[in-house]
Amino acid sequence: MKAILIDDEELALNYLEHQLLNIGDFEIVGKFTDPMIGKREIEKKEIDIVFLDIQTPKLNGIELAEQLLEVKPQLQIVFVTAYERYAIKAFELNALDYVLKPVGKKRLQNTMKRIQSMMEEHKTFSPQKSENLQMSLFQQVTFVDGGQEIPLRWRTAKVQQLFLYLVQHRGTTVNKTAIIELLWPELEPEKANHQLYTAIYHIRKTLAPFSKYFQISNTSEGYKVKLEQTILDVDQFERFFRSDLSLTAETIDEYEQAMALCKGDYLQEHNYIWAESERQRLQLQWVQTALKMVDWYYANDEWDKAITLCLDICQRYPLEEEAYFFLMKIFADTGRHSSVHKQYDHLTSVLWNELQEQPNPAITEWYQLWKQKNKE
């Protein structure tokens, strides 16, 4: 295993080299007291693992690690520190791999077992089955490769939230200050920056087996996620919606396939305030498409499909009056009079309980006329 060591103390570098060589299976490719020189060497050479002092001059060790993973996602990094209290405080939420100075042989052996286990895990989940990765953001966040769902284990909820936030803004740079204000507004700048670097580090480590699909770039202003060879359900649905394809007997299958992508709301399992506007925008697109399909089903006497889709609309969005109205008209046309009353009563109850409002006057007028014609 090829290793590079970075520490601003020469004695610490020599001692760490001595301990690693005693463990065996190591080739020390380089030792550096200047982190910037070490960074350039790591980027040029084939390296498996880097032992990196957290408190290096010129550049924070965790920030340096995050920059290295941008270039080499599969790189294994072990942090080294002389301050136990600092280490515990820094990693109590994020649990990065780290060892304390002076580095003991037994502790290094345990660290190496962990690193080897992580490397094996990455091989196990390395996506090689198909050219494209399928990613879903409707309802559950899932990753599917070659028909098999791939589990991702995030270090913390905030690490996952930051990843999804970057994905929502895919293709554009998200300002670091904006991220900090969103996720760590209560922390002082130094600690908040530390948390940001740590979270990005964990995202890179989690996504290391999928680096060809997710490219995270770091600029002085912020971070940007770019998706490559990734089929995203949200993008698929939106492309279809924007195409404004005419709805005919020949295209109804395409409509049904597009709607099948929307198994639930956007990021439904996550109560992120920042996702709400996007969620509502996609909800509106889905409802517009669904009602367009219901209208087509109704006009073509496909009652069962129209009823099923209307009930789905009402279940997802109980205040969508037009879906109830379609149900009332379908039940009226098919002679199911009790169901007409039931739908109108249900709509009236929902609107009053939620908004203290009555149904649209046009719906009430239709219902009253229908009742007069069908007095029982």
pLDDT score, position 219: 84
3-state class of 282 per DSSP?
helix
Predicted model pTM: 0.79
Rounded CA separation 33/149 (Å): 44
3-state class of 348 per DSSP?
helix
The residue type of 280 is Q
Determine which of 125-129, 153-157, 268-272, 280-284 has the lowest per-residue pLDDT on average: 125-129
**Which CATH code, of 3.40.50.300, 3.40.50.2300, 3.40.630.10, 2.70.210.12, is assigned to 2-124?**
3.40.50.2300
Q: Which helix (H) or strand (E) holds 128?
A: none
The pLDDT tens digits of the residues spanning 273-299 come to 999 999 999 999 999 999 999 999 999
pLDDT score, position 103: 81
* pLDDT higher than 50, residue 89: no
Determine which of 76-85, 124-133, 160-169, 171-180 has the lowest per-residue pLDDT on average: 124-133
* pLDDT higher than 60, residue 96: no
* pLDDT higher than 70, residue 94: no
* pLDDT higher than 70, residue 137: yes
Once rounded to an integer, what is the mean pLDDT over residues 333-342?
Answer: 95
Q: Kind of pairing, strands 27-32 and 142-145?
A: unpaired
What's the CATH number for 133-230? 1.10.10.10
Spatial neighbors of 125 by CB under 8 A, at least 6 apart, are 150, 151, 209
* pLDDT higher than 80, residue 100: no
CA distances from 214 to 42, 144, 166, 354 (A): 21, 14, 11, 42
Determine which of 76-85, 95-104, 140-149, 305-314 has the lowest per-residue pLDDT on average: 95-104
The pLDDT tens digits of the residues spanning 257-277 come to 999 999 999 999 999 999 999
Domain ranges in the chain are 2-124, 133-230, 238-374
Burial class (CB in 10 A: 0-12, 13-18, 19+), 304: exposed
What's the CATH number for 238-374? 1.25.40.10
3-state class of 133 per DSSP?
strand
3-state class of 7 per DSSP?
coil
Given phi > 0 = left and psi -120 to 50 = alpha, else beta, which region is 147? left
Rounded CA separation 201/78 (Å): 12
Rounded CA separation 308/327 (Å): 10
pLDDT band at 119 (very low <50, low <70, confident <90, very high): low
pLDDT band at 124 (very low <50, low <70, confident <90, very high): low
3-state class of 81 per DSSP?
strand
